[in-house]
Structure 1
Amino acid sequence: MRIAVLDNDRSQADLICQVLTSAGHVCQSFDSGKDLLGQLRKDSFDMLVLDWQVADMSGTEVLRRAKEKLPGTTPMMFLTSSSAEDDIVAGITAGADDYMVKPLRRGELVARVQALLRRAYPAQNGAEQLQFGPYIFETRPGRLLMDGNVIEVTHKEFYLALLFFRNIGRPLSRAYIHEAVWIRETAVPSRTMDTHVSRVRNKLQLRPENGFRLVPVYSYGYRLEKLGAS
């Protein structure tokens, strides 16, 4: 999962990212609310971890504005250096899903993050079979079927297609797709991603007559659209 971390203490942000990266996530840190909200205008994250006391903006304001830019299911956890009940109530009331009091404990941080992600994205947690219309993804063997017939796809094509179906209607940036599918491959030419997207579109027959359409989002990335019955 891709997680944004907001903390104006650089060493604290680095520690959080180190812990969550070790748990298998992709992290990007920000040291101001303005920078985070600016990034949300052009990129997507699966979860936010937010310091309640950043210098340029209140925690309440960051949460409110972030919620305007992300799907309502996106989990948000805030961090506070105060265990005062008023601060905790303010954070939960503003829409946070959970909180932690500093200093952070690594094991607890991972456990709380994983719990929020499991609740927000139940289909991504060990499911052996996922179905979207005529398409069935068997995640453990990595097999893809359409109308009961196996579609021959590569490993990356399988996970690229699954990424689109798990985010139907949601624009995915090229950076997000790269980090989700190519993971540790740092230099992936733009043409490589476009070629894989084209193959997924053709192999899965993502055309209006089949109820789905995979379209480019100009200067951003791609979006899989589910079409209503005609």
Structure 2
Amino acid sequence: MKIASLEDDEAHAAIMSRVLHEAGYECATFSTGRALNRRLREEKFDMLIVDWELPDTSGRDFILWFRTHFGHDIPVLFVTARNMEEDIISGLSAGADDYLTKPIRTNEFVARVRALLRRAYPSAAEDSLIEVGPYRVDVPQKTIHVHEEPITLTPREFDLARLLFQNLGRLLPRDLLMQAVWGRGAEIASRTLDTHLSRVRTKLKLRPENGVQLVPVYSRGYRLEPVAARDGAAVAVAGDV
């Protein structure tokens, strides 16, 4: 899932981005309301995380604007150093769904994010059991079955497969995949990711006849696309690259 973080403190933005990536989410960071405003007109995010003190606006005013133009379907988490009761009430009244004070505690932060996403997207957020065609991904047990046959994967191969199935149809950037599986700052060659994904494709038989295909997007990342059969031919639901 894609999360937009509106935070002008570079250090704090980096911490939140790292934590979200390690939790399996895609995070784009913006330092001004104007920058996020422009991106929202071009791209859809599944969740917003907003600071209060910003260079060109206040987080509260930004949320008011966002709710006016985009409605209330997308969850918003306020993360700010303000911890007075009146600030919390003001932030929630502006349209935030939850309020967290800095400095964040990483486990609590991830738990709040997951809770908001589960509430907003009950069928898509962090499913413990993911079923796509002949595939059954059991996240807690870290197992994958294809046509009821268990597939042996290494821990990293499973983590890559889990991310792909949890984000079916979404482009997953290369850096997100590497950070989520190997950790932020890990020095791995780009071909290492490609090699692991090639093994995942082979072991799981990610082929159109099984209803999915793993598509590399040159220099950007990978996308697991659902494929529908039509007149004996496989057709990518999400479109060709």
TM-score (norm 2): 0.66
Q: Deviations over 1:26-51 (max 9, x none)?
A: 87754323555688899998743212
Deviation (angstroms), 1:221: 0.5
2:232 is aligned with 1:228: no
- Look up the equivalent residue of 2:87 and give its one-letter code: S
**Alpha-carbon distance in structure 2 between the residues aligned to 1:229 and 1:119:** 33
Count of aligned residue pairs for this structure pair:
216
Aligned mate of 1:83, from 83, 87, 104:
87
- Look up the equivalent residue of 2:166 and give its one-letter code: R
Q: 1:9 to 1:165 in 2, by over 3 A?
A: closer
Deviation (angstroms), 1:4: 5.1
Tell me if structure 2 keeps the 8 A contact 1:170–1:223: yes
**Alpha-carbon distance in structure 2 between the residues aligned to 1:43 and 1:161:** 25
Other-structure match for 1:190: 190
SS of 1:228's partner is strand
**Alpha-carbon distance in structure 1 between the residues aligned to 2:144 and 2:77:** 35
**Alpha-carbon distance in structure 2 between the residues aligned to 1:37 and 1:170:** 22
Q: Deviations over 1:156-202 (max 9, x none)?
A: 11111111011011111111111222225611211011111111112
Aligned mate of 1:17, from 9, 15, 30:
15
Other-structure match for 1:59: 62
Other-structure match for 1:50: 50
SS of 1:219's partner is coil
- Look up the equivalent residue of 1:17 and give its one-letter code: I
Instruction: State, as a whole percentage, how many aligned pairs show the same letter.
Output: 41
**Alpha-carbon distance in structure 2 between the residues aligned to 1:159 and 1:119:** 24
Other-structure match for 2:238: none
Tell me if structure 2 keeps the 8 A contact 1:42–1:220: no
Tell me if structure 2 keeps the 8 A contact 1:5–1:17: no
Q: 1:151 to 1:79 in 2, by over 3 A?
A: closer
Q: 1:17 to 1:118 in 2, by over 3 A?
A: farther
**Alpha-carbon distance in structure 2 between the residues aligned to 1:21 and 1:138:** 23
Deviation (angstroms), 1:99: 3.7
**Alpha-carbon distance in structure 2 between the residues aligned to 1:40 and 1:186:** 31
- Look up the equivalent residue of 1:218 and give its one-letter code: Y
TM-score (norm 1): 0.69
Q: How does 1:1-230 map to 2 (within 5 A)?
A: 5-9=5-9, 13=12, 17=15, 21=19, 25=23, 30-34=30-34, 47-57=47-57, 59-60=62-63, 63=66, 75-79=75-79, 81=82, 83=87, 88-89=92-93, 91-92=94-95, 96-100=96-100, 110=109, 112-120=112-120, 127=128, 129-184=129-184, 186-230=186-230
**Alpha-carbon distance in structure 2 between the residues aligned to 1:191 and 1:185:** 16
Other-structure match for 2:239: none
Tell me if structure 2 keeps the 8 A contact 1:161–1:200: yes
Deviation (angstroms), 1:121: 6.2
Unpaired segments of 5 or more residues in structure 2?
231-241
- Look up the equivalent residue of 2:161 and give its one-letter code: A
Q: 1:189 to 1:41 in 2, by over 3 A?
A: farther
Tell me if structure 1 keeps the 8 A contact 2:92–2:98: no
